[in-house]
Structure 1
């Protein structure tokens, strides 16, 4: 079982010709309200990839409808708290004609849920289970500690990156997911230097990965590179996978789709190379559709793409 302590947001998505500039008022071409949040997206990706996943999180009691998408995908939703005195998290998302996005996030219940919302479900965890966690929910430190106490394997996607995350002890983390920007921010904070210094020192993704391993020698790292693909390294073996060349429409949930599919493949017993290939294929399908959770592909689509390109 994968226990995902993750955010649940109501996404307000606006399609715009370009990302709004300071002082500019811009009319949107369309508007949609959909389920989002890094946590919810990753849970749906895991479920659609065929793995067993329980979502741990919180919403405002008036928004019970948002859990239906998680349940429909196949996730367990019994550990989602419906809070009477909190508003659900939400995000204002702009998506432009180049498929780039800009997001304003309100944490709501994600950032204010009671501690036992996290610790009680994790107390059921065993050494055969995984914790997956991002940085959009309260009680991150406690979730990591509880999972470590239960003997669970831990996967961490420290997004959004903050100074608090950089100060966390990640000794119990088995698998770290970061994109290039997050990796640079994490290293800069750990080393007390600015981002420009890390960028100058690490001119290639391989150099960036090597520097990550100096800080996290016992942790396997996955470095996502957007249109350039992804790297995996456990300190001994380094693997890479190029991205598919596709017409990207919306990149909002690409990273979350990648993480979810990599996790699902890992718990199924796939090799890191197989997990990398499946995750890159899933992300390629995701970016060709609009939306966050709605753009995450089913595993049969991913398998079909892999078979067609072998």
Structure 2
């Protein structure tokens, strides 16, 4: 099968600072790192590194070719990423010595994907394939509807959380993945808990406490591996990508979740986003302390 991921592609510029600057302050950074990011790209890379066949649907600007090179190097099919005449999405991330951070996100081409491009791409999808999307592009609802009509299983990662976006896409969703805070926000908006949304499957990630899986009337808890984290960026994206790859390979959901929790635990022991996502071989060889 194939995982079709309508998702963001961002260049992450991370500046290490003594503290977060206040308005009007000029502050010199003592280190700059640049890498591949964006929730969509992170999830595609995670699925590919887990052994999944991933086709990314998105857009970059004329300066973004290096990001596609990086994604292809990790095994992602980028043939359905359009190149537009406006700047790519990017994030300016300031990280203080205290680990406090500040992020400025420019959506860029991630919000300029055309309906025709999505329709043409999904025309090649087959019933039984998987479709994945998040909240960092346009056309999530339209694409989810089209994917469902073609017999694809739709997964929605509800981040960054937007109540209206979640409400709009839930009718076309089979698997919902969200973190504990997002689950609380959704419950306040809908008056329903994760297990009463009427979806086939809901996964609520709990960080260091693992995750909960709601399936029908059943609720299952999966513990997380115990590690000492150095950077939690992209951990949830790694988890989601690994779950999708497991399902794509025909694994039962519990098996896919167990490997995904190990992958996310290994990811947080590394600095970076997409570039730090582990391979399946690394996850299988991983021995948590």
Common fold, TM-score beyond 0.5?
A: yes
* Greater mean deviation of Cα atoms: 239-248 or 75-84: 239-248
Q: Structure 2 vs 1, CA of residues 250 and 235 (structure 1 numbering), >3 Å: closer, same or farther?
A: same
Q: Structure 2 vs 1, CA of residues 280 and 63 (structure 1 numbering), >3 Å: closer, same or farther?
A: same
1:243-258 correspondence to structure 2 within 5 Å: 243-258=224-239
List per-residue Cα deviations over 1:3-38 (Å, max 9, x = no partner): 000000011112345555667665434211111100
SS of 1:32 mapped into structure 2 = strand
Partner of 1:51: 52
SS of 2:117 mapped into structure 1 = helix
Partner of 1:200: none
List per-residue Cα deviations over 1:98-151 (Å, max 9, x = no partner): 656543211100012222222211122221201000010011111111101111
1:124-143 correspondence to structure 2 within 5 Å: 124-143=124-143
SS of 1:265 mapped into structure 2 = helix
Mapped to 1, the partners of 2:21 and 2:162 lie a distance apart of 24
CA shift for structure 1 position 249? 1.1
- Within the candidate set 222, 229, 254, 2:210 is matched to 229
Query: Which of the two has greater strand per residue?
Result: 2
* Greater mean deviation of Cα atoms: 47-56 or 232-241: 232-241
1:200-219 correspondence to structure 2 within 5 Å: 211-214=193-196, 216-219=197-200
Partner of 2:13: 12
SS of 1:168 mapped into structure 2 = helix
The reply on whether 1:284 has 2:265 as its aligned counterpart is: yes
SS of 2:172 mapped into structure 1 = coil
Count of aligned positions:
288
CA shift for structure 1 position 229? 1.3
Structure 1 unaligned segments of length 5 or more: list them: 192-209
**Preserved CA contact (<8 Å) 1:180 1:224:** yes
Mapped to 1, the partners of 2:19 and 2:13 lie a distance apart of 17
SS of 2:244 mapped into structure 1 = helix
Mapped to 2, the partners of 1:98 and 1:228 lie a distance apart of 24
SS of 2:233 mapped into structure 1 = coil
Partner of 2:241: 260
Partner of 2:156: 156
CA shift for structure 1 position 294? 1.2
The reply on whether 1:35 has 2:20 as its aligned counterpart is: no
**Preserved CA contact (<8 Å) 1:101 1:252:** no
CA shift for structure 1 position 275? 1.3
Partner of 1:295: 276
Partner of 2:177: 177
Mapped to 1, the partners of 2:83 and 2:22 lie a distance apart of 37
CA shift for structure 1 position 161? 1.1
Mapped to 2, the partners of 1:65 and 1:122 lie a distance apart of 25
CA RMSD of aligned residues (A): 2.1
Mapped to 2, the partners of 1:240 and 1:32 lie a distance apart of 37
**TM-score of the superposed pair, with normalisation by structure 1:** 0.86
Mapped to 1, the partners of 2:182 and 2:72 lie a distance apart of 30
**TM-score of the superposed pair, with normalisation by structure 2:** 0.92
